[in-house]
Structure 1
């Protein structure tokens, strides 16, 4: 498929010498920047464990082509697992899982009305 054109919002974690040379192995994706307060907690745990990760916005509704590109190229870029969080009906982790063979962990993001229960049950 060639080199990915996806710009990274943030890339963090271990930068020391490793088999992956600091390349992200976990993708942490949110549907919008408003999801970051929850997803940054996952990033903090990954950083504490020295696991390199990338944190970016990829919307299932506003940028589906970018989502498909991310999911289909994640493995070849060294990503081993994807964490996806968005409010509502959890379309982001569902669409990611449909386009990759990698494990996808869906994170329910609290919404005003149902406090994340809608995402959890989707």
Structure 2
């Protein structure tokens, strides 16, 4: 079970910490890189080629502003690519979101919410759950715990009012 997480810049690391932690908590081997599609395209291509050949199951990409990284990575692989649009100063991440979701036909990038690193991890786990049933079982248990927490909160609110 292997996921690659590629950020466009080292400054994106704090926004992707939760994603990486969730994956590791589920026992996934996580390879993390900070490789800009614009500034380090040869190194990015080499890393994606490595992912294509080393058993990587899913690639998660995180980028802000023009957010070319997810699309560039998707153009170099048929592995599932998940894009995480990151909030930048000028447009609150809408530029990155639109850049990632507007991929040309045949080169899709699954996209989560702006700064949605956690959901990128959960989506990757769901994808890998097809191949690794133990991940599906862990996710089902997690969803059950979410339901129980929600119902407990509901009872507390109901009793309070």
Partners of 2:43 and 2:17 in 1: how far apart? 21
> What TM-score comes out, normalization by structure 2 length?
0.59
Structure 2 residue 35 is matched with structure 1 residue 55: no
The answer to whether residue 44 in structure 2 is matched with residue 44 in structure 1 is no
Name the structure 1 match of 2:96: 119
Q: Which runs of 4+ in 1 moved over 3 A?
A: none
| SS of the residue 2:91 aligns to | coil
Name the residue aligned to 2:73: 96
Query: What does 1:82-93 align with in structure 2 at a 5 Å threshold?
Result: 82-93=59-70
Identify unmatched segments of 5+ residues in structure 1.
1-19
Note the alpha carbon deviations across 1:87-106, whole angstroms, 9 max, x for none: 11210010000001111000
Unaligned runs of 5+ in 2: 100-161
What's the CA shift for 1:27? 0.3
Structure of greater Rg: 2
Pairwise CA RMSD of aligned residues? 1.1
Q: Normalised by the size of structure 1, how large is the TM-score?
A: 0.77
Cα distance between partner residues in 2 of 1:76 and 1:102: 11
RCO comparison, higher one (Cα < 8 Å, 6+): 1
